A and B are shown apart, each in its own frame.
Chain A
Amino acid sequence: MGEYSDFCCWSNAAKTGAPVKNLTEQAADLVPLNGGRNRVTLRSPSQQMEVDLAGKSHGGVPTPHTKVSPLNPRAPNQPAFNTKNSPVEPATQQDIRTVRRYLERQN
């Protein structure tokens, strides 16, 4: 599904002649939409996803990157997420798409 969506994106861009941007450029373009902040924090009932759109590399992973942390239902203060050992992963096209949709709804 992700690959198909990516193909559609590329295909439409090719049709319109618009330049195809890589993930780094797409993510950087979202920073102004996020009030100039580099990070977007998204939460669901079971986890938290922190997306750094721009900024320093972490754990050898350049931005954009994500960190997904599970809910800790036993913590006395809710919501609480176990962020200590959550890995930093490169952001995917779907991650950037999710952030874009979220920011578009906020603005």
Chain B
Amino acid sequence: MDKDFTVGQANELIKAGRIYDLHNCFDFDYLTILEDGDLRLAFKPNASHGEGYSPLLLCAEGVDHFAVSPNFGPTTAYHLEEIGYKSCDDEDDNWLLSQRQATVADDLFFRFNDGHYVRFRSQSASLIETPPTPDSPP
């Protein structure tokens, strides 16, 4: 997977030296699967702890492996627990691979509360800051 970001500690994505603390400072917004199979995973700054951040859109294109936990609702108010990697044939998600341990063939794995998850592998993935919405924190 060709990405323009890395996973820092399990709560963070890092792009161009900027740390996005998705666990502590953002709320999960939505997951969208486009007609061509591409994915969009959106996070918005938390009202109390997201000051200085813009909404984030993770764009995955050329998805060749994708899975979500049973009954995952794409707009339910999930809380992101951690981010890591998993070999695409490994269903044991008790533990995740770190950035240092992962290879380009591994899934990117987003763990949410109550055992929910989103995992995928794609040709490319990019992290984009989107314009703030009216209800975003300053």
Contacts and interface: CB of A to CB of B under 8 A. Distances in A.
A18 B53 CA distance: 34
Interface stretch (B16-24, B34-42, B60-68, B127-135): B16-24
Contacts, number: 66
Contact of B24 (A52, A75, A83, A84): A52
A38 B21 contact: yes
Interface residues of A, number: 22
B94 A82 contact: yes
Query: Number of contact residues on B: which range applies?
Result: 20 to 34
A56 B23 contact: yes
Interface string A51-80: 010111011000100000000100101001
B107 interface: no
A52 B22 CA distance: 12
Interface string B71-115: 000000001011000000000011111000100000000010101
A56 B12 contact: no
Contact of A84 (B11, B23, B79, B94): B94
Given A36-B19, A83-B10, A56 B24 contact: yes
A65 to B, nearest CB: 10
B23 A52 contact: yes
B9 A85 contact: no
A55 B49 CA distance: 6
Given A52-B23, A52-B24, A55-B25, A39 B11 contact: yes
A72 B24 contact: no
A50 interface: yes
Contacts of B115: 84
A37 B95 contact: no
22 contacts: A37-B9, A39-B11, A39-B12, A39-B23, A39-B24, A41-B9, A50-B9, A52-B23, A55-B24, A55-B25, A55-B49, A58-B23, A59-B113, A63-B24, A75-B95, A77-B97, A80-B97, A83-B10, A83-B81, A83-B96, A84-B111, A84-B115
